[in-house]
Amino acid sequence: MKANIALVIGDPAGVGPELVAKLLTDGETLKQANVFVIGNRVSMADAERATGTSLALATISQAEIGGRDFAQPVWLDWPGIDAPVFARGKADAPNGKFMLDMLTLGAQLTRDGKTDALCFAPLNKGALRAGGMRQADELRWFEDLLGSHAYTGELNVLDTLWTSRVTSHVALKDVSALLTKEGVADAAQLITTSLKASGKAEPRVAVCGLNPHNGDNGNYGSEEIDIIEPGVALARSRGIAVDGPFPADTIFVRAKNGHYDGIVTMYHDQGQIAMKLMGFERGVTVQGGLSIPVTTPAHGTAYDIAGQGVANVGAMKNAFDLACRMGMNRRTA
């Protein structure tokens, strides 16, 4: 049996449908998974015209998921399948609510075991908020939808290298005050657990310092001594294979050369700049710590090129591949 993947087309005002169209015409996709597409026909028809692809997907009911393999991707019948066209390149309430409805269905199917993982094309947070999302981001929204109470965090993946972070969408001036040894240990545990869920049996994890030159023994800040080192020790006491802290400007070089599988960063851009510089068009985001596997490309909706058919499908394919691996590991765990 192949993995069952709920595939959401993302923001219909952006490049998401085009990426899905390109993905679904890749023969390797069909070998990996049974793909259940959640979206609206008119947006995908526009995407096919823009990309020069042709899908002609059959439509099945939710009751038909499971028990057999499908030779081709299929539309999943749901109330939004015949939704009208959305204004291209606009972040507003209609496409925001539509995205939330698609994500709700995909998450519920995966929660209930009908699908093994959820993969979605890029979203726009402004549109999601206009459409009714009251949480800070989609990860917190998923937490509430699924009733998740475990530690969660956004993970970024570039090929075989993963990053997690202790703080995320907060002002840089607030980072130091938000660091705790428990937060460092939790982020190290989250990335280790997630790497194992993706098939990495014995992950090797490094932790970044916060300050220039790792604080230079307290000369440039004491967070490394007071918080991060105790956090690394706490993670080790939990059985996590973790080293650090290391200067943030050199640890990515070591990881890129194969010394580590994952890096715990202290704030958003500390890891994002390095990862996007190494491979912006290949990066994947994992909604880590949820009760279900959820993946998406690390880039945005690219409103400026929507409808042109030129969006690079690399990150979308990587997100899909990772969803397949995590979904099959979840099924066999």
Specify the pLDDT at position 72: 92
Residues 70-86, mean pLDDT to the nearest whole number: 95
Specify the pLDDT at position 31: 86
- Tell whether the model's pLDDT for residue 33 goes beyond 90: yes
Average pLDDT of the residues of the chain: 95
- Tell whether the model's pLDDT for residue 74 goes beyond 90: yes
User: Exposure of 321 by Cβ count < 10 A (0-12 exposed, 13-18 middle, 19+ buried)?
Assistant: middle
Residues 278-287, mean pLDDT to the nearest whole number: 92
- Tell whether the model's pLDDT for residue 1 goes beyond 80: no
Q: What is the pTM of this model?
A: 0.93
State the number of CA atoms in the 13 A half-sphere of 220 facing the CB.
9
Specify the pLDDT at position 198: 93
Confirm if 324 and 117 have CB atoms less than 8 A apart.
Answer: yes
User: CA-CA distance, 147 to 230, in Å (whole number)?
Assistant: 31
Residues 270-286, mean pLDDT to the nearest whole number: 92
Q: How far is CA 116 from CA 36, 101, 138, 282, in A?
A: 11, 19, 19, 23
Residues 310-319, mean pLDDT to the nearest whole number: 96
Name, in order, each residue with C-beta under 8 angstroms of 26's C-beta and a sequence gap of 6 or more: 313, 317
User: CA-CA distance, 43 to 303, in Å (whole number)?
Assistant: 14
Residues 279-305, mean pLDDT to the nearest whole number: 94
Specify the pLDDT at position 169: 85
- Per-residue pLDDT of 127-155, as tens digits, reads 999 999 999 889 999 999 999 888 999 99
User: CA-CA distance, 321 to 222, in Å (whole number)?
Assistant: 41
Residue appearing with tokens 């993969």: 119
Specify the pLDDT at position 148: 86
SS3 per residue for the chain: CCEEEEEECCCCCCCHHHHHHHHHCCHHHHHHEEEEEECCHHHHHHHHHHHCCCCCCEEECHHHCCCCCCCCCEEECCCCCCCCCCCCCCCCHHHHHHHHHHHHHHHHHHHCCCCCEEEECCCCHHHHHHCCCCCCCHHHHHHHHHCCCCCCEEEEEECCEEEEECCCCCCHHHHHHHCCHHHHHHHHHHHHHHHHHCCCCCCCEEEECCCHHHHCCCCCCCHHHHHHHHHHHHHHHCCCCEEEEECHHHHHHHHHCCCCCEEEECCHHHHHHHHHHHHCCCCEEEEECCCCCEEEECCCCCHHHCCCCCCCCHHHHHHHHHHHHHHHHHHHC
Specify the pLDDT at position 21: 97
